[in-house]
Amino acid sequence: MAIKDQTPLHEVRPTTQELRMVPERYLPTPVVEPGHSFASITDHISTIVLRKKTPIGWLVGFTLALFAVGLLTVSMTMLIGKGVGIWGINHPVGWGMDIINFVWWIGIGHAGTLISAILLLLRQEWRTSINRFAEAMTLFAVASAGLYPALHTGRPWFDYWLFPYPNTMGLWPQFRSPLIWDVFAVSTYATVSLMFWYVGLIPDLATLRDRATNIWIKRAYGAFALGWRGSAKHWYRYEHAYLLLAGLSTPLVLSVHTIVSFDFAVAQLPGWHATFFPPYFVAGAVFAGFAMVLTLAIPARKFFRLEDFITMKHLENMGKILLATGMIVVYAYAMEWFYGLYSGNPFETYMLKNRATGPYWKMYIALWVCNGLAPQLMWFKRFRTSTFWLFVVAMFVNVGMWLERFVIIPASLHRDFLPSSWGMYHGTIWDWSFFIGSIGLFFCLLFLFVRILPMISIFEMRTLLPEAQAHTEEEGAH
């Protein structure tokens, strides 16, 4: 009863039990520190958003990000004005940091959907406190990734030719080209993740609508809350929609990076042309995604004092996932050597030799250190449970995954079949400005998100409380 007084009824989410009678053992184990009530959760999370004064730390961070975005716009102007020549690409190496960064970002954009969809379907309740955050991250990563394919031709005004639309030329795009598959894969992924994220937000938007004091803010949240009242009917539909979307986006987690990997696997270039690229890339993506979640969650957790909601258990689980996916990635690296040596194909063999001993050997060694060695720390609980070490490892992986794409793209292209046309690739200042710019864009969006939307799903957190269970039992008793 007490609960009812404190919280409006419509904010009390019926538990899974109510919706579907499930055996006891499926009941989630609480993954929120004791001593919290519906009210305290709601207050804590919603005040982060609704409080009047913006924390100084936020302002500083946001401004920095904004500067980076400024840099990005300058770079884009240069690119569109002068052409892709401002980058370091050349004749052997047609793709450079533009595609490296694209793949890097897309990879990062995987954790979100994975956490939200797959863990949801697997009823991994611990996902709750991080899924909202991870989904947001996914969206913004995909946004940053999207920049590159759109701009890497230097003439974005032709991009629409890649879409199959009826035209006066009587032409269709080349459906055999992996780039066309990319267009569909990425755009679908972006749309679905956005939907998924938004639907997940609706109940919380309603909460904020009700808690906001300023009428305009009320209106703003209200508009997006789509008149959510939290009636059982709403909840019922909501559950279905959410599960549906989860089911829909699950295959996407696998498909997107599979198709991105086709950009390389379908080509015949040594170092690209390998059948195991899809699983290798997907694993790498999850690896990168979780690393980024950690990179963001650990500071955010400190800054917004969310230790109670994002507990060690979460961090530790993510550490375990890092270890698992990291091992898959390392296995892939090993397999490349196996293929190269076992096939006896001189091009493959040389490609590997060149990776290890060629001009880019430093990159290759660094890659092994970052993605191979660093995650091994995660075997030990000591490191898994230390935010510091988790953060360090996560950073290593972020860098490592970028290096991986560098090793795959320019380091394979620069010495391919005919030694006469071998060359070198060096990123220019504009390559880097684009990279920094896209990072800026990512953080800019992220900062806005934590300021105006609840970065932890309020209503889902509530279901994690013992009260939620207790309360349902009461109801059931009547």
**Interacting residues toward other proteins by CB under 8 A:** 82-85, 88-92, 94-95, 152-155, 157-162, 165-174, 176-180, 183, 209-210, 215, 218-219, 222-223, 226-227, 263, 266-269, 346-347, 350, 359, 413, 416-424, 426
Rounded Cα distance between 88 and 83, Å, is: 12
In the complex with other proteins, which residue's Cβ is closer, 271 or 375? 271
In the complex with other proteins, which residue's Cβ is closer, 35 or 166? 166
- In whole angstroms, the minimum distance from the beta carbon of 339 to other proteins comes to 16
- In whole angstroms, the minimum distance from the beta carbon of 173 to other proteins comes to 6
Rounded Cα distance between 245 and 236, Å, is: 14
Residue 74 phi, psi dihedral angles, 5° rounding: -60, -50
- In whole angstroms, the minimum distance from the beta carbon of 109 to other proteins comes to 21
In the complex with other proteins, which residue's Cβ is closer, 92 or 299? 92
Residues 6+ apart with CB under 8 A from 43: none
Q: Which residue is it, tokens 């995954």?
A: 401
Rounded Cα distance between 41 and 168, Å, is: 58
- In whole angstroms, the minimum distance from the beta carbon of 370 to other proteins comes to 23
- In whole angstroms, the minimum distance from the beta carbon of 14 to other proteins comes to 22
In the complex with other proteins, which residue's Cβ is closer, 261 or 371? 261
- In whole angstroms, the minimum distance from the beta carbon of 272 to other proteins comes to 8
- Distances in Å between the Cα of 328 and the Cα atoms of 282, 286, 331, 332 are 10, 11, 5, 6
In the complex with other proteins, which residue's Cβ is closer, 57 or 346? 346
Q: Which residue is it, tokens 């969809």?
A: 117
- In whole angstroms, the minimum distance from the beta carbon of 177 to other proteins comes to 4
In this structure, which long-range contacts are made by residues 327-333, counting pairs with CB atoms below 8 Å and at least 24 apart in sequence?
Answer: 327/375, 328/279, 328/280, 328/283, 328/287, 329/280, 329/283, 329/284, 329/287, 329/371, 329/404, 330/371, 330/372, 332/276, 332/279, 332/280, 332/283, 332/284, 333/367, 333/368, 333/371, 333/372
In the complex with other proteins, which residue's Cβ is closer, 118 or 266? 266
**Do 152 and 84 form a contact (C-beta atoms < 8 A)?**
yes
In the complex with other proteins, which residue's Cβ is closer, 17 or 101? 101
- In whole angstroms, the minimum distance from the beta carbon of 168 to other proteins comes to 4
**Do 75 and 115 form a contact (C-beta atoms < 8 A)?**
no
In the complex with other proteins, which residue's Cβ is closer, 140 or 434? 434
- In whole angstroms, the minimum distance from the beta carbon of 337 to other proteins comes to 19
**Do 388 and 285 form a contact (C-beta atoms < 8 A)?**
no
In the complex with other proteins, which residue's Cβ is closer, 262 or 383? 262
**Do 221 and 288 form a contact (C-beta atoms < 8 A)?**
no
In angstroms and rounded to an integer, the radius of gyration of the C-alpha atoms of the chain is: 24
- In whole angstroms, the minimum distance from the beta carbon of 311 to other proteins comes to 34
CA angle 409, 140, 189 (to 5 degrees): 75
In the complex with other proteins, which residue's Cβ is closer, 86 or 444? 86
Instruction: Report how many helices (DSSP H) and strands (DSSP E) the chain contains, helices first.
Output: 21, 0
